[in-house]
Amino acid sequence: MKPKYFAYPYVGWMAVFVVAPIILVFVFAFTARDGTITFANFSAMGRYASVFIRSFWLSFISTVVCIIIGYPIAYILSREGQRVQRVMIMLIMLPMWMNFLLRTYAWMSILENTGLLNRLLGFLGLPGIRIINTQAAVVIGMVYNFLPFMILPIYSVIVKIDRSLVEAAQDLGAGSAAVFRKLIFPLSLPGVLSGLTMVFVPGVSTFVISQLLGGGKEMLLGDLIELQFLGAAYNPHLGSAISLVMMIIVIAFMYIMNRFGEGEEMAAGL
C-alpha cells in the first residue's frame, strides 16, 4: 500500500467536518430564509458594530497584557537549568489539563462580590471591589486562559537561540541590554507573532468567558453568533454572515502577522 493512502481518512475527515461546514456558512450568509440570494445579512450587521468593536478591543487588551506578562516569563525560563525548565513548563501547562469551563467557573468564585478576592480585602481591612460582570473580569479570564499560548511559543524560540551568538555579542562589547535589544528580541519575534495570533484569534471569538465573567452584559462576537443559532432570535443566515466576516478578518490578521514575521526573520538573518 502506498503511503499516500494513509492520508485518505484524514482528507475525508477534513472534508466532512471542516470544508463542508465552511461551505454551509457561505451558503447561509448569502441567502435569505426563502433561499434567494441576498446581501441583506451583511447590511444587517451594522447595528452590531459595537459588538465588533468591543470584541476586538478586549481581545487586543488581553493580547497586550499576555505579552507583557508572558515574554519576561518565557525569557527568564529559557535561562534556567533543564530541571527548572521542566518543572515550570509543567506548572504552566497544568491548568490547561483542566476543563476550560471549570477554570472559568473558578474565576467566578474568586471575582464575585462575595468571592475570595473581596474576602481577602475585607480581612486586610481594605474596601471591596466590584469586578464581576465587567469588562475587566472578561479580560482577566482571557489572560488567564490564553497566557500559556503566549508563553510557550516565545519560550520555544528563545531556548533554541544559539548561546554562541550571545557570547560573540558580549565579546564584541555589547552589554546585556544591547544583547537583548539587538539579538534576542529580533530572533524571538517568530515566537512573539505566533503567540499574538494564538491569543488574539480565540480572544475575538470567545463566548464562555464573556457569559460567565461578564454576566452576559459584555456581549462579544462569539455570544452574538451563538444567539443567532441557539437563542430566541434564531437567524442562522445572519449568524453565518457574522461568522464569515469574522473569519475573513481573522485570516487577514494571520496573513499580516505571517508576512511581518517573514520580514523580521529575513532582517535577523542579515
Inside any domain, residue 169: yes
Inside any domain, residue 30: no
**Helical axes 49-78 vs 185-205, angle rounded to 10°:** 140
pTM here is 0.86
Inside any domain, residue 36: no
Each residue of 216-242: pLDDT tens digit? 787 899 899 988 988 777 899 999 999
| CATH at residue 138 | 1.10.3720.10
pLDDT band at residue 87, thresholds of 50, 70 and 90? very high
The domain of 80 spans 48-269
| Cα gap 242→18, rounded to integer Å | 18
Inside any domain, residue 3: no
The residue among 231, 52, 227, 211 whose CA lies nearest residue 142 is: 211
Inside any domain, residue 112: yes
Cell numbers of 205, please? Answer: 471569538
Inside any domain, residue 25: no
Backbone φ and ψ for 253, nearest 5 degrees, come out as -60, -45
DSSP 133: T
| Cα gap 140→112, rounded to integer Å | 13
Each residue of 99-157: pLDDT tens digit? 888 899 999 999 998 889 999 999 998 888 989 999 999 999 999 999 999 999 999 99
State mean pLDDT over 193-215. 90
